[in-house]
Amino acid sequence: MTHPKEEQTLIIVKPDAIHRGLLGEITTRFERKGLKIIGIKMIQLEDALLEAHYAHIADKPFFIGIKNFMKSSPVVVMVLSGINAVSATRIIVGPTKGYEADAGSIRGDLSLSIQSNVVHSSDSVEAGKEEVARFFSKDEIFNYKKFDFAYIYADESF
């Protein structure tokens, strides 16, 4: 990170978004907000990674359905960085249940489901750190200074 207050958060563009051709729109929303993409790749998720990522629900009866859904096509994972990046992305993404998400949010505009809710977003700063480390090696993260940083963040952010 190039600023001490910057946070990192993980985004997973899920299979439903990939099949519906929403990658560009989703990425654009984060960039328009001013978040910096510091890592991005397309991957095919495997059981071990999904079991680690969803360890908190791995014992639930619906987990097998989530696992099969997440393996149904490649996904795009990205690391976003910025001051208050975790809370900013949670607002942009909207609540988990797409049918409860406000218009203007990614899920509010593009989802009506709980499982097929287009994106995953880290829910805390700590989760962001853990999830980024789970999906990205250090050499896949690119810390760089964006030239528009001073125009996105006012003096009160420093």
Token pair 């907000």 is at which residue? 33
Catalytic amino acids? 120
- Whole-angstrom distance, CA of residue 51 vs CA of residue 20: 25
Query: Is the separation of the CB atoms in 105 and 94 below 8 Å?
Result: yes
What b-and-e string marks burial along 85-105, b requiring 16 or more CB atoms within 10 Å of the CB? bbebbbebbbebebeebeeeb
